[in-house]
Structure 1
Amino acid sequence: MSNFIKKVLVLCVACAASIACKQNGDSTTNYADISVGDEMIAELTAPPFVPKPVGDRPAKKLIVNMEIKEIEGEMADGVKYVYWTFGGSVPGSFIRTRVGDEVEFTLKNHPDNKLPHNIDLHAVTGPGGGAASS
Structure 2
Amino acid sequence: MNNSARRVVFPKGATVFAEGEPGTTAYVVESGRVSVFKTIKGKRVNIGDVTQGGIFGEMALIDDHPRMASAVAEEETACVIIGKDRLSEQLDKAPKGVKVIVNALLGNIRAMGAELAEATVILSHDGD
Class of the TM-score when normalised by the shorter of the 2 chains: under 0.3
Structure with bigger gyration radius: 1
The structure with the greater share of residues assigned to helix is: 2
The structure with the greater share of residues assigned to strand is: 2
Higher RCO (CA < 8 A, seq sep 6+):
2
| Superposition TM-score, scaled by structure 1 size | 0.23
